[in-house]
Chain A
Amino acid sequence: MVKVRLWGSLRQAAEGQTEVEVEARTFKELLDRLVETYPGLAPQIARGVSLSLDGVIYREAWFTEIRPESEVVLMPYMTGG
């Protein structure tokens, strides 16, 4: 199981939690499990999210490996200028 930290405004979409646990080994599996477990997160995930894995921010990269001990933080999709 992987612990995933959500940003605060996703709380209502995740049954009031800002930290959830899902079974996932990759970024893509993580997103799929989040949508399955918390359908309220689906609109935000469809709009785009970034993922911080042990402090490194990933914008896509489905196959990025996630270890059970990894720090995983869901973030809005990054934009820049």
Chain B
Amino acid sequence: MSLDEYRKREFKQVGQRVRRPDGVDKVTGRAMYGADATAPGMLVGRVLRSPHAHARIRSIDTSAAAALPGVKAVLTGADLPVQEDAFVRDVQDNCMAREKALYDGHAVAAVAAVDAATAKAALKLIKVDYEVLPHVTDVDVAIKPGAPVVQAGRTLENVPAGMSENVTSHCEFGHGDPAAGFARADHVVERHFRTAATHQGYIEPHAALASVTSDGKAELWCCTQGQFFVRTLCAAIMGMEASQLRVTASEIGGGFGGKTTVFIEPVALALSRKAGRPVKIVMNRDEVFRATGPTVHTSMDVKIGMTKDGRITAAEAHLRYSGGAFPCGTVDMGAQAAFAAYDLENVRTYGWNVMTNRPKEASYRAPGAPQAIYAVESVLDELCQHFRLDPIDVRLKNAARKGTKSSYGPTFPDIGLVATLEAAKRHPHYTAPLKPGQGRGISCGFWFNFGGNSCVSLNINTDGTVGVTEGNPDIGGSRASISLMAAEELGIPYERVRTIVADTSSLGYNDVTDGSRVTFAVGLATIKAAREAIRVMCGRAARIWGIDAEAVEWKDGAAVPAGPNAGKFPPMSLAEIAAVSFETGGPIAGHHEVNVDGAGVSFGVHIVDVEVDRETGATKVLRYTVFQDAGKAVHPSYVEGQMQGGAVQGIGWALNEEYIYGPDGRLQNPGFLDYRVPVASDLPMIDTVILEIPNPGHPYGVRGVGETGIVPPLAAISNAVSRSAGIRLSELPMSPPRVLKALGA
């Protein structure tokens, strides 16, 4: 993909706040979520989970469970093949433990029975003989030599000798000479930070219905961000050919990255194959918290040197991330993102991934970036306070722009950070008066975005309407956005286009809905599929008119002669061409299949006002404004929703959300009562300012917007708290007990 896709144009459909296609079904309860799937003869699947943080499985006796009337299948790790590929092996071993239970909640066995009560009774009859092992759930403990080893032999070649076996990978990025840069600084601040693991917090628990027939074919219905990736993983685990497994994605009740892998899907398939009947598994909330992906938890050291006029002379970060009991590459992303917003002569980031006895990490919006950028933006703010400099002015002075050699290597092309900072500085929020005890914080944020494999089939119906078939579950409004782009390109009203999400047997491979990719990449494929359909329609009109196809062009939803020499013919609309398509050569369609690149990086700036209650330690968010470069906002309401949603999830991360482990290594708060996400009454209206700086890698200038919004809130709120209460916390969440402790109360 090149950077010359963009062409400036006057939009007629794109940019309109059209009615969302899934709205009625969702508000009336008619939408089919994962748990709504049923099949004749369906069995209930349940999973037995380890009560230990770390234990060797000496044996599992399933005989009593299998003999219980109504039980049709029992499954353990021994029923699944040993995988050669390390990635698939880790996914499989996370779905069903083999030799060791690696964390509290790790699946060790499963049953399928005629009803839930029988399945529950059967689980109690399974006897697991555990040898309880020493455990480690804290990254700073796990990294030390001598710590309990979660898995042996997983260390990559890039880890320096002498470290704990829990350290699986190491990375380093940057350029220049930080030591020389620090020597030139007028002041250097170095701080230690920690952030808790948080859960993506989607409302819909994981659910899967599998049906494997005796001839080896299988159907799987599940809630996922990527049915094609589910097929890839499940086919590998089940030893099936991809063509024999059809995966259909349900409507999805939130994912945020947490539904980009599998947990119960292969278990349901394996139980179904054993039982010879469909098997449905629905997780409860306790299982979602204990056994599906939270984020990494982190320990970080950040050091920044600055001159008294606000120029950064050097920056350095040491990041220690733990993605739970398996190797995890998220620290690579955090280390690259940490200083990406700034034009730095001397910068270095070092990252280590460390295994702990916690659930296997799953992605969460901009994985790895919020934590690192929280630490960087906190230190930067402390330097602004030290020198009494304006926080936005300092960021503008150091901002990355076109031609900046980024901290992770490449030289930036056109980027929108300066425009975003300037918009924040101009906004009335930034200069609005604050009352005593209130504080204002800001932070920049960054995310890479990417494109990926995308297939689109666009069919022109004979009544002049259009069906678009794409392969990415709609987690952020993509069906509306894709319909808008199809309508724009074809020159017809939005209401005449319907976009649906296909199963894995109906379309070529599509990457997962992640990386802020769908509106950008699938949108690009849709535009090109529409252009292919237009080419065919122009050809049909040319044959009807008896002129060359090259003499016909598409304008305002109709084929027209390209110029006076082409002849005089009245415009022939899409509906008119479609109506005679059977007579002129057959059905008309456009397709496009592509691996899209050129997504373009994204920057955001958040401003927040807070007030800390010095008696309770509670922090109230008073006002919040998000500024973000969206490229062209295809459906502004959805773009605003992404920005608001990211901010709210970041507020939760900053103030309350955390995985709390007891000394026994068990999760103490696996439920929404004790793991507190922000609710509407906790929040002000999140204001948004969309900047539309066209992405040259997309025909309409579209840029991904789904992830950047969660990056700045952690530091923005921490910076606001420091100005409200006069305390600088360095550990998230800034829950009331931590704030009270910092206040010395």
Contact = CB atoms under 8 A, between A and B. Distances in A.
Contacts of A52: 409-410
A8 B174 contact: yes
A76 B260 CA distance: 19
Contacts of A13: 157-158
Contacts of B365: 81
Given A9-B171, A80-B517, A75 B412 contact: no
A80 B411 contact: no
Given A7-B408, A8-B173, A81 B595 contact: no
A13 B597 CA distance: 28
A43 B408 CA distance: 21
- B174, B410, B413 pick with most chain A CB within 10 angstroms: B410
B595 A60 contact: yes
A58 B305 CA distance: 33
Contacts, number: 107
A52 B597 CA distance: 10
B166 interface: no
Interface in B1-44: 1, 3
A5 B258 CA distance: 33
A8 B409 CA distance: 10
A79 B363 contact: yes
Interface string B502-518: 00000000000011110
A61 interface: yes
Interface in A35-63: 40, 43-44, 52, 54-61
B337 to A, nearest CB: 11
B233 to A, nearest CB: 15
B156 A81 contact: no
Contact of A12 (B158, B171, B330): B158
Given A7-B171, A8-B174, A56-B3, A78 B448 contact: yes
Interface residues of A, number: 31
Interface in B324-364: 329-330, 332-333, 336, 348, 363-364
A22 to B, nearest CB: 17
B554 interface: no
B707 interface: yes
B257 interface: yes
A53 B405 CA distance: 13
A76 to B, nearest CB: 4
Interface in B153-205: 156-158, 170-174, 200
B449 interface: yes
A71 interface: yes
A2 interface: no
A60 B521 CA distance: 14
Contact of A80 (B348, B449, B595): B449
Contacts of B364: 81
Max chain B C-beta neighbours (<10 A), residue from A44, A59, A74, A79: A79
B172 A7 contact: yes
Contacts of A79: 329-330, 333, 363, 367, 514-515
17 contacts: A7-B172, A8-B171, A8-B172, A8-B173, A10-B158, A11-B172, A43-B156, A55-B412, A56-B598, A59-B450, A59-B597, A61-B1, A75-B409, A78-B450, A79-B515, A80-B516, A81-B514
Given A5-B409, A75-B409, A78-B450, 6 more contacts: A8-B173, A56-B1, A56-B597, A60-B595, A61-B597, A80-B514
Interface of B: 1, 3, 156-158, 170-174, 200, 256-258, 260, 329-330, 332-333, 336, 348, 363-367, 408-413, 447-452, 514-517, 595, 597-599, 697, 707
Q: Which 6 A-B pairs have the closest CB atoms?
A: A81-B257, A80-B515, A8-B172, A81-B363, A52-B410, A73-B409
Interface of A: 5, 7-13, 40, 43-44, 52, 54-61, 64, 71, 73-81
